[in-house]
C-alpha cells in the first residue's frame, strides 16, 4: 500500500457527469466525478443511497439504463476513452478490460443457462477458447479459484446458494484477467459470515491476479476491511478521497466523519448519535455545498459556494470549506 503513489493508473475518470432526463431540467446524478484507480489497488466508492456511486460505476461501463445518460467526461482505461468507443469496439473492449461483479447476486445469473455456459459465454466472446477441452479446463480452474467444487459447472443458478452464486460472479469477472473490475455491492445480499468468506476470497483473488478493483458500497465497515483507498460520495459529488487508514483515522470532511460515526459498534456502547436531515433531494439541491443543510460545521460561505475537491495532505483530498484540522497524525 505504501508504493501506491508510484503505481500507474489503470483507469482515469475525468469530470464524469451523468444526467437523468426525468424532467425539463435533468437530474444530475454524478457531477464532475474525477478519480484514478491505480494498478492492483482496491478503491472504495461509498455513500448513502442516491449519492451516485452505482450511477458512476454503471457510467464507467457505459451501461446506464435510460433515462440516464453520460452528459460529459471521460473514462480512460489502458489509454482508451471508453466513452468514445463505437458499439462493436465497445463490445470487444468490455470484460477484457473492465469487468463487473453485479449488485443483485440473486438475480445476476441467467436462470435458464447452466453455470458453465454462462462462464463460457464471457470467455468465448473475447478470446479463442482453444477448443472444448481447454475451455472446460479453464472453467474448472476458475471455479476452483473461487472455492467452488467442479461439479457446480453443470448446475443451474437456482440450485446454488447466494454465496455460491456470488462466487460464480467473481469467477466470471476474473475469467479474462482484466486490469479493472467493478464490484457493485458484491456482498450486500449475503449473511455476515458468508459475506466475510466471499469478500476475503474476492480480495485474495484480485491480489493474486493483480487486478485493480472499484468496490461500490454503503457499509463503512466493509470499506475499512477491504479497500486501499476510499472515495466518499454525496449528492453526485466526491466529498473526500484518501487512503483507507488515513480516512478512518483522520477524516477531513464532516460527512465522512458522520458516516464513520453512524456505524454501530459491537465493542463499545455509545449513545446513539442522531443526525439531522434526510438524504439530499437531487431535484432540489441547495446552492453551495450539498451537505450544508446537514453539516454541523457549516458557515456562511458553504451556503453560497460549492467547494472544489482539493488536496489537503499528501494523498488526501476533500471538497469542504471547513475541513477538520485537529489531525493528530500528520
Residues 141-160 contacting other proteins, CB under 8 A: 147-149, 156, 158
The residue among 43, 179, 185 whose CA lies nearest residue 108 is 185
Binding other proteins (rule: CB under 8 A), the pick from 113, 127, 209, 322 is 113
Half-sphere exposure of 314 (CA within 13 A, CB side): 7
By the 8 A CB rule, do 326 and 308 touch?
Answer: no
Beta strands across the sheet bearing 317-318: 98-101, 180-184, 212-217, 42-46, 229-234, 237-243, 317-318, 310-311
Which one of residues 27, 33, 164, 213 is an interface residue with other proteins (CB under 8 A)? 164
Q: Where are the alpha helices (DSSP H) in 44-130?
A: 53-60, 87-93, 115-124
Query: Which grid coordinates are listed for 311?
Result: 488536496
* Choices 17-25, 73-81, 242-250, 302-310; region in contact with other proteins by CB under 8 A: 242-250
Q: How far is the CB of 6 from other proteins (least distance, A)?
A: 21
Looking at the Cβ atoms of 136 and 294, the one nearer to other proteins is 294
Cell numbers 432540489 correspond to 284
Stretch of residues binding other proteins (CB under 8 A), selected from 11-19, 24-32, 57-65, 70-78? 57-65
Looking at 132, 133, 270, 328, which residue binds other proteins (CB under 8 A)?
Answer: 270
**Any contact of residue 298 with other proteins (CB under 8 A)?**
no
Output 110 or 208, the one with its CB closest to other proteins. Answer: 110
Segment interacting with other proteins (CB under 8 A) among 7-15, 32-40, 241-249, 282-290: 241-249
Q: How many CA atoms lie within 13 A of 65 on its CB side?
A: 1
**Helices 115-124/162-173 angle, 10° precision:** 20
Determine if 136 is a binding residue for other proteins (CB under 8 A). no
Footprint (CB under 8 A) of other proteins, residues 187-206? 191-197, 199-200
Residue 127 in contact with other proteins, rule: CB under 8 A? no
d(CA 59, CA 62): 5
217 three-state secondary structure: strand
Q: Which is nearer to other proteins, 217 or 305 (CB)?
A: 217
Least distance to other proteins from the beta carbon of 111, Å? 6
Judged by CB under 8 A, the stretch of 90-98, 205-213, 282-290, 301-309 that binds other proteins is: 90-98
Is there binding between residue 278 and other proteins (CB under 8 A)? yes
Size of the site for other proteins (CB under 8 A): 78
Interface with other proteins includes 321 (CB under 8 A)? Answer: no
- DSSP string over 229-260: EEEEEETTEEEEEEEHHHHHHS--SHHHHHHH
Selected binder of other proteins within 22, 67, 81, 92 (CB under 8 A)? 92
Cα–Cα dist 52/73, whole Å = 15
Helices (H) and strands (E) in the chain, counts: 10, 12
Amino acid at each position: 500500500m505504501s508504493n501506491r503513489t508510484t503505481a500507474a493508473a489503470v483507469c482515469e475518470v475525468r469530470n464524469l457527469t451523468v444526467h437523468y432526463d426525468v424532467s425539463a431540467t435533468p437530474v444530475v446524478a454524478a457531477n464532475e466525478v474525477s478519480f484514478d484507480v491505480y494498478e492492483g489497488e482496491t478503491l472504495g466508492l461509498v455513500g448513502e443511497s442516491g449519492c451516485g456511486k452505482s450511477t458512476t460505476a454503471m457510467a464507467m461501463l457505459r451501461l446506464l439504463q435510460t433515462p440516464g445518460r453520460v452528459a460529459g467526461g471521460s473514462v480512460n482505461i489502458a489509454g482508451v476513452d471508453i466513452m468514445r468507443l463505437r458499439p462493436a469496439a465497445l463490445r470487444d473492449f468490455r470484460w477484457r478490460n473492465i469487468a463487473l461483479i453485479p449488485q443483485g447476486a440473486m438475480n445476476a445469473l441467467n436462470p435458464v443457462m447452466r453455470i458453465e455456459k454462462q462462464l463460457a459465454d464471457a470467455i468465448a466472446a473475447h478470446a479463442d477458447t482453444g477448443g472444448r477441452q481447454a475451455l472446460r479446463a479453464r472453467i474448472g480452474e476458475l471455479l476452483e479459484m473461487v472455492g467452488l467444487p467442479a461439479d457446480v459447472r453443470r448446475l443451474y443458478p437456482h440450485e446454488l446458494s447466494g454465496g455460491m452464486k456470488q462466487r460464480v460472479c467473481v469467477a466470471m469477472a476474473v475469467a479474462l484477467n482484466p486490469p479493472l473490475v467493478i464490484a457493485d455491492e458484491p456482498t450486500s445480499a449475503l449473511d455476515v459470515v458468508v459475506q466475510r468468506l466471499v469478500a476475503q476470497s474476492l480480495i485474495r483473488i484480485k491480489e493474486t491476479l493483480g487486478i485493480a478493483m472499484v468496490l461500490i458500497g454503503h457499509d463503512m465497515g466493509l470499506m475499512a476491511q477491504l479497500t486501499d483507498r476510499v472515495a466518499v460520495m454525496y449528492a453526485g459529488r466526491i466529498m473526500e478521497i484518501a487512503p483507507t487508514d488515513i480516512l478512518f483515522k483522520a477524516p477531513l470532511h464532516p460527512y465522512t466523519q458522520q458516516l464513520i460515526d453512524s456505524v454501530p459498534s459491537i465493542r463499545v456502547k455509545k449513545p446513539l448519535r442522531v443526525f439531522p436531515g434526510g438524504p439530499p433531494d437531487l431535484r432540489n439541491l441547495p446552492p453551495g455545498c450539498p451537505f450544508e443543510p446537514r453539516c454541523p460545521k457549516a458557515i456562511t460561505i458553504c451556503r453560497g459556494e460549492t467547494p472544489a475537491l482539493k488536496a489537503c495532505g499528501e494523498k488526501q483530498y476533500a471538497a469542504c470549506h471547513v475541513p477538520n484540522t485537529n489531525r493528530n497524525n500528520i
